Structure 1
Amino acid sequence: MRIIFSLFLVLSVSTIFSQEIETVQDSAIVKVDSLYREDQFYLGLTYNTLQQKPQGVSQNKFSVGLSAGFLRDMPINKDRTHAIATGLGFTFNNYVQNLAITGTGEMPFYTVLDDKTVFNKNKFTQLLVDLPIEFRWRTSTYESYKFWRIYGGVKFSYVLYNRSLYTDDQSKVVITNNIDFNKLLYGIYLSAGYNTVNVYAYYGLNPIFKSAEVGGENIKMKAFNVGIIFYVL
């Protein structure tokens, strides 16, 4: 009888203990946030091209752009698959081409370098602070971090700093804060893809230069930059 009672006691204690473990495990499950936000930090890498170039101007080397920033995600539907986002970012753009800028920042002079001209480097760069405003469509859920997305919008950029560089075997000309550069730039952009890595394209709606001429022709070059963009958190 004692043996039967002991077995019954052991089985009862085991059952209670296993139930307690299941309860602890259930309570340890992390609750998902149904009010989640997506893609609030970004990092982009682009290949930069110039559109509407003056006659004779060309790009013969790779021009790179880097961007990073924060976007506040604001869902506008119950499923949180549609959202509006805005924030702040920074962009560094580099344009390697054959439009030489000499003189000074207050009195710049422009020359198209032809095939007969021997030079080492010629480029201009910009550092911009960006204000993007975009509409977002995605297939996200609060249970998965992998989803399809299409984001598009308009970006306003203020040029904090510009610099041009021309070098040959005899000279080096560096000009900063050229007054002919547009201080305010704006354009449209689109990004699309799956998970973290997405394709990205930006087209400038106004010229990079506000008042510059070469050979009697206004310089109305606009940016068209394509590349990839990474979203996190």
Structure 2
Amino acid sequence: MSRSLRRGALAATAIVISIASLTACGAGNDAQTLGVKPDNAAVTVEDIQVQNALVITQPDTGRRGPAVVSATIFNNGQDSQTVESITLPGTATTVKLTPAKGSGQVVVPAGGSVVLGGEGNATAVIQNGVPERKSGDVQEVVFKLSETGDVGLQAFVVPAKSYFEGYGPSERPAPPATKPEKPATKPTGEPTAPETGEPTGEATHAAGH
């Protein structure tokens, strides 16, 4: 494993530990108060700060299926903002945003935060996945906020295994169906009667009777 990939793996592990800490914190805490300083996958634009952004794919290599964007979005401003969209430039993907409860937009409250991914949190599902990306790659992710506009960063791509399993896609495609074995070929003709050694017709009278 190269030095850069080792750094990426260690950073990704640190990220998920930070995610767990952030998920446990209630709204109203900003990044400075939490004291979280991730090494990567973080960006601040005006009042919006995005931390611990990840693209989490299916757990098995080569398995096609939905992926998700996981991140924590902080709003250090005095007005709430909505996450209008999330895009992955360079890919033909659609990201479906769903709030933690009910339907509608994902709202980042003023002075608060919202977590994408994980049980009980809002979700950002990449419906057709990112099959061209492998674990350890990076993917540009752009969050569009209602007031701040585009907030982009480079996110690690990781499979939904180990630390990331609880934050990965909930929909897992079924394994490919195996082809049933072909039945043995049956004979097409009717079986002939076995020879018994007995005469099949009436016996003829002996000559002279």
Q: TM-score range by the shorter chain?
A: 0.3 to 0.5
* TM-score when normalising by structure 1: 0.30
* TM-score when normalising by structure 2: 0.32
- Bigger radius of gyration, 1 or 2? 2
